[in-house]
Copies of this chain bind each other. A is one copy, B any other.
Amino acid sequence: MKISARNVLKGTIVEVVKGATTAHVRLDVGGSVVTAAITNEAVDELKLAVGGAAYAVVKSSDVMIAVD
């Protein structure tokens, strides 16, 4: 499946923390750690575990820019 989202960043899963309905998954993407909040159901369905390869997918309209 190809997706319209402009940001599909390849990385390695470094942490998975499940809450009651929402899980936090952290990915190492070229030295930067990216945090995703997804459903517990998605974690199970995609069999996400530490050490696995995965992509962080972000729509460009959800990315802000900041400067010092």
Q: How far is the CA of A30 from the CA of B56 in the complex (A)?
A: 14
Given contacts A21-B37, A24-B21, A30-B30, contact A46 B60 (CB under 8 A): no
Dominant SS at the A interface? strand
8 Å CB contact of A66 from B4, B30, B67: B4
Q: How many copies does the complex hold?
A: 6
Interface residues of A (CB under 8 A from B): 1-10, 17-25, 27, 29-32, 34-39, 41-43, 45-48, 52-68
- Check A39–B1 contact: CB distance below 8 A: no
> What are the 6 tightest A-B residue pairs by CB atom distance, in nearest-first order?
A19-B21, A19-B20, A30-B30, A4-B42, A36-B63, A62-B62
